[in-house]
Amino acid sequence: MTWIDETLERARSPIYINDSKTPSGVAHVGSLRGVLTHDALLRVARGGGAQARFTYGCDDMDPVDEIPHGMGEYFREHLGKPLYAAPTPPELAGDSMAQAYFAEFTSNFEPLGVDAEFYYMSDIYRAGRLDDTIDVFLRRAAAVREIYLRETGAVRPDDWLPFQPICERCGRIGTTFASDYDGETVAYQCLPDLVAWAEGCGATGRVSPFGGAGKLPWKLEWVAKWKVLPVTVEGAGKDHMGAGGSHKVAAALAREVLECPVPISFTYEFFTLGGAKMSSSRGIGLSASELVACLPPQLLRYLVLKVQVRRALDFDLDLATLNGAFAEYERLWNSVYEGNANSNQQQLFAISQLVDATETASPPTYSPPFDSVVSVVQQPHIDLSAHVAALGVGPLSDADRDWIDVKRRAAVSWSRRFSESASRLMVADDLPQATDDLSNQQRGFLSVSRRLLGELETWQAATIQATLFDAARIVGITPAEAFVALYTAFFGWPEGPRAGSFLEFLGRGPACERLGEVTFSYPELVAVTAMELDDWNRAVTTAAAEQHEFSILPNWIPESDDSGKLANSGVLELFVADAKGRMSAQRAVRNGTEEAFSEEARTHVARLVGIAETEVPIRPDNPFG
Ligand SMILES: [Zn+2]
């Protein structure tokens, strides 16, 4: 049973889920947690057959109390006015500041599969739907003041009324002080120093508190919504919860003044990216829209919803995290599809989807890692679907192709957003200059890899990866040295995605073509790696005695290949595959003549092992040449 099940079990039916937003700036990523969490409740409620709806309110009666980042001159004169009365920010569409920011944020709902109904608080006030509640709060102002004092320690003047009229002269709502309710009107003053962030005009007057001429302070407005909508489930960010928090006050107001039930509530922790708390007014971090543009919606839902609401949610958008996230999501998908998932996992997968599905779509059978996709999509000449069809990774289903396309789109937007990181995965048009700085053995590794990969029977990440390890052992370098060489040849940079998967997705043709451009000196490799002939002889007899699969390759270094001391020398290569099929090679220099060297090598090994010359296994191809 998940926290969602437990929450819904306690909620009154029909289930009415509500959440809202003050549209005072471009919403940062943190705002998405509440939205997705409430939507998950809706999904599970409906999935369980309950009648349920989810409304999402625009708190557009709230005053402009801070200026969006970088817009000081534009908004200063509107500080204190209701958000619906402040102008549309430049570069956004809408009739007002409230509408523009609300629309900017909620335009992400449909792509994320969030099924919310929108409402504007200004409409609710103007329609008179809160009038009765306003009347109760004004008549019982003393009780409201008492609750504020008890729950938060805040002292309100004896004549203070829980209402904020809109000043008839300057249009501000954040600067007015209301008193003296006579059942039809309240008196108000528009004070220059009521709040620090806005200056009232000094006007005084009497207005009706009904029909949108003003608003309730927001804790009271919250309670009024609970009663009027009527809300049965509503969570809140942790900044509203806890002792002295807004929710505590609101709950007391509901029970003691409005005498309405408090919705089932839950607290959700902050949602940050890369450990940094975002702030829309300070312009820090990614906006919600930017994040939605970066990640496939089901992956974003998954990343947000998999973390318990009471735990802080934080992830990075680096490649390692995204590789892991995709892989994790695909594993969950597979286990749900195969029927191996427990009920919590099934629920997590279901609420990560964009729509409710009666059946789980079949998961992809081939899915290249995200970083490989990032690398390949950056090659402008590649048409990805044709590329994938030509990969030879086996027959691909529609599900495979669809999912690769999801990753492709994510890779394109991720690369745009994080172009510096993405450029490190860009396959260079030509063999990078940095390849010249690799050691001769490293370049030998690339050349040998090209030979071995060209002959692979199946072009699959695991066999490719194993072949690269073989090639590293054959030239006598460590895997770390080998992968530095490989990445350098493709990216001009010593790091990259997991090599086997990357080459698999790049395709055999382009992979071998690039590796084929690398040159190295075989005599130099021999000079550095050759062992004494006696040691080599022992290696041959050991391999034969342990019945390892082995083969011999006699190589001749002609004078034209080497001006050094190895000119006109024979090299005996021994290739051994161990019990796990891992290939290595050892070599020794042996004197001889060019014409007779192959025959002499055969005779030499036949004697060593005690077999007929015709039985000496000679390697048919030369991976060095
Ligand atoms: Zn005023």
How would you write 275-332 as a 3-class SS string? CECCECCCCECCEHHHHHHHCCHHHHHHHHHCCCCCCCEEECCCHHHHHHHHHHHHHH
Please, which pLDDT band fits residue 279 given cuts at 50, 70 and 90? very low
Please, which pLDDT band fits residue 562 given cuts at 50, 70 and 90? low
Q: Is the ipTM of this complex over 0.95?
A: yes
Please, which pLDDT band fits residue 278 given cuts at 50, 70 and 90? very low
- The torsion region of residue 49 among left (phi > 0), alpha (psi -120 to 50) and beta comes to left
Q: What is residue 242's predicted lDDT score, i.e. its pLDDT?
A: 72
Two tokens, residue 622: 């030369």
The answer to whether 185 and 168 have CB atoms below 8 angstroms apart is no
Every domain range in the chain assigned CATH 3.30.720: 522-615
> Which of these, 62, 57, 56, 55, lies nearest to 97 by C-alpha position?
62
In the predicted structure, residue 281 carries a pLDDT above the cut 50:
no
* Burial grade of 324 (CB within 10 A; 0-12, 13-18, 19 or more): middle
> Which of these, 294, 356, 329, lies nearest to 47 by C-alpha position?
356
Distance 23 CA to ligand 1 centre (A): 22
Distance 613 CA to ligand 1 centre (A): 108
Q: What is residue 283's predicted lDDT score, i.e. its pLDDT?
A: 45
Q: Which of 103-117, 384-398, 550-564 has the highest mean pLDDT?
A: 103-117
pLDDT in tens, 468-505: 999 999 999 999 999 999 999 999 999 999 999 999 99
The answer to whether 159 and 180 have CB atoms below 8 angstroms apart is yes
Range 28-47 average pLDDT: 95
Distance 175 CA to ligand 1 centre (A): 7
- Helices 508-516, 479-491: axis angle to 10 degrees equals 100
Distance 308 CA to ligand 1 centre (A): 46
DSSP-derived letter for residue 547 is T
Distance 203 CA to ligand 1 centre (A): 5
Q: What is residue 167's predicted lDDT score, i.e. its pLDDT?
A: 98
Determine what percent of the chain is predicted with pLDDT higher than 70.
Answer: 98
For the chain, give the number of residues.
625
* Angle CA 295–300–301, to nearest 5: 150
The answer to whether 372 and 505 have CB atoms below 8 angstroms apart is yes
CATH of domain 3-129+221-272: 3.40.50.620
Report the greatest alpha carbon distance in the chain.
Answer: 119
Q: What is residue 276's predicted lDDT score, i.e. its pLDDT?
A: 59
pLDDT in tens, 531-547: 999 999 999 999 999 99
Distance 207 CA to ligand 1 centre (A): 13
Distance 332 CA to ligand 1 centre (A): 58
In the predicted structure, residue 354 carries a pLDDT above the cut 50:
yes
Name residue 236's beta-bridge partners: 267
Distance 191 CA to ligand 1 centre (A): 7
Q: What is residue 382's predicted lDDT score, i.e. its pLDDT?
A: 82
Every domain range in the chain assigned CATH 3.40.50.620: 3-129+221-272
pLDDT in tens, 593-607: 889 999 999 999 999
The answer to whether 216 and 130 have CB atoms below 8 angstroms apart is yes
Distance 98 CA to ligand 1 centre (A): 20
Please give the Cα distance from 573 to 555 (Å, whole number): 7
pLDDT in tens, 207-237: 999 999 999 999 999 999 999 999 999 999 8
Distance 66 CA to ligand 1 centre (A): 18
In the predicted structure, residue 420 carries a pLDDT above the cut 70:
yes
**φ, ψ dihedrals at 484, nearest 5°:** -60, -45
- We find that the CATH architecture of domain 433-516 is Orthogonal Bundle (1.10)
Contacts of 354 (CB under 8 A, 6+ apart): 112, 113, 297, 298, 301
Residue linked to tokens 């437990």: 6
Residue linked to tokens 């107001």: 253
Two tokens, residue 120: 């504007």
Please give the Cα distance from 247 to 238 (Å, whole number): 10
Range 286-299 average pLDDT: 93
Determine what percent of the chain is predicted with pLDDT higher than 90.
Answer: 79
Q: What is residue 563's predicted lDDT score, i.e. its pLDDT?
A: 63
What is the Cα Rg of the chain in Å?
Answer: 36
The answer to whether 1 and 214 have CB atoms below 8 angstroms apart is no
Please, which pLDDT band fits residue 316 given cuts at 50, 70 and 90? confident
The answer to whether 298 and 352 have CB atoms below 8 angstroms apart is yes
Two tokens, residue 204: 């005084």
Distance 211 CA to ligand 1 centre (A): 19
In the predicted structure, residue 262 carries a pLDDT above the cut 50:
yes
Residue linked to tokens 């929450």: 7
CATH of domain 522-615: 3.30.720
Q: If you average pLDDT over every residue of the chain, what do you get?
A: 93
Contacts of 42 (CB under 8 A, 6+ apart): 15, 17, 52, 53, 54, 115
| 3-state SS record for 386-419 | HHHHCCCCCCCCHHHHHHHHHHHHHHHHHHHHCH
- Helices 499-506, 479-491: axis angle to 10 degrees equals 30
